[in-house]
Amino acid sequence: MLFLAVAAAFVASLIFTPLVIKLAFRIGAVDHPNYRKVHATVMPRIGGLAIFGAFLVGYFILRPEDEHAIGIFIGALIIIVTGFLDDMFDITAKAKLAGQLTAAILVVTWGGLQIDFINLPLLGQFDFGYLSIPITIIWIIGITNAINLIDGLDGLAAGVSTIALLSITVMAIIMGNVFVAATAAILAASSLGFLFFNFHPAKIFMGDTGALFLGFMISVLALLGFKNVAVVSLIIPIIMLGVPISDTFFAIVRRIRMKQPISAPDKSHLHHCLLRTGFSHRQTVLIIYGLAILFGVAAVLFSQATVWGAILLIIVMLIVIELFVEIIGLAGSNYRPLLNLVRLIGK
């Protein structure tokens, strides 16, 4: 039955996306070129509706049961409406945040999903206590926006989201969480079908309708899949979502260093930096796909590693990420502490 649901979601996405393209032009839900964007023509931008519709097809064929399902589903509806309104009318950042906050609070209160603790190698378990609810809300909103931030090139957000969802599926199977594995697999199939129309050169953008929906679902499924795993808790989803989390983190670092508002837009995200180094549009997207796959594999290895193996993996990952960030200038062209240290030692 799972195979049927996944296949149905994929086919539905292939059918729905051309229909959404026509709808977008008809209702004026289009994205116009400007100095911050890489496309040169007017593009339809409510592709998230096709992903959401395809997901519903697969979900209702399988109907996976879980106590959190209703809360997650209603939260997703709120996110879809929020993203659609932004794609149509360019609503304010505060209005968009209000929609995300409402969805996150609903999942936490009605759905009962919370991050209760984090378990760090050697340091042991750290219980969040009264902070569990605000930390959970921050996580959901943070990952939701992280996926939105990387949605800057054809096929980028859809591809990275698909890889993250497949990683979640594999990990959920290992952990024995049927609901998360099934839901993530159906959503991955929906996103993959959309990618046929969204990969460079794209015929449609997912817009905030899609990016916020995928980010919201990934954030919730990542927590739901691993929240009761005492050995790893929050570490696995952090590693698994390394690409959007790293891009968002260094965007914040970059803006603080430049004395700019954290929410200020710029053209220095991961994909912008790779483009500036000389990679083509398609090469840049494929490189980021590769990074996303590496993070997914690292998450699986981390879950199976010993304590010292997990510590070594984290140290190696942090060093590699820092070097990569400094080489491509993700935190700013003059941010090179580790490279400067290497040069100093080499003298």
pLDDT at 231: 42
Percentage of residues in the chain having pLDDT higher than 90: 42
**Helix (H, G, I), strand (E, B), or coil: what is residue 91?**
coil
Average of pLDDT values for 301-319?
Answer: 83
> Global pTM?
0.89
**Quick count: other Cβ atoms within 10 Å of Cβ 273?**
22
User: Residue 59 above 60 pLDDT?
Assistant: yes
Burial class (CB in 10 A: 0-12, 13-18, 19+), 259: exposed
What are the pLDDT digits (tens) for 214-245? Answer: 999 999 998 887 655 544 456 778 888 888 88
The total domain count for the chain is 1
**Helix (H, G, I), strand (E, B), or coil: what is residue 120?**
strand
What are the pLDDT digits (tens) for 106-130? Answer: 998 887 788 777 766 666 677 777 8
**Quick count: other Cβ atoms within 10 Å of Cβ 80?**
24
Measured CA angle at 219 (ends 3, 304), to 5 deg: 70
pLDDT at 232: 45
Residue 34 — very low, low, confident or very high, per pLDDT cuts 50/70/90? low
Name every residue whose Cβ is closer than 8 Å to that of residue 63 and which is 6 or more positions away in sequence: none
163 against 109, higher pLDDT: 163
Domain that holds residue 158: 2-346
Average of pLDDT values for 155-164?
Answer: 93
Average of pLDDT values for 317-322?
Answer: 88
**Alpha helices by DSSP H, the chain:** 2-27, 48-62, 69-89, 93-109, 132-149, 156-175, 178-198, 207-226, 235-240, 242-257, 270-276, 281-304, 307-328, 337-346
Most confident of 70-74, 129-133, 188-192, 221-225: 188-192
CA–CA separation, 69 vs 82, rounded Å? Answer: 20
Cα–Cα separations (whole angstroms), residue 173 to 42, 180, 259: 42, 8, 44
Average of pLDDT values for 156-182?
Answer: 91
Average pLDDT over the chain reads: 86
Name every residue whose Cβ is closer than 8 Å to that of residue 31 and which is 6 or more positions away in sequence: 37, 39, 42, 43, 44, 45, 205, 207
Is 148 marked as binding a ligand?
A: yes
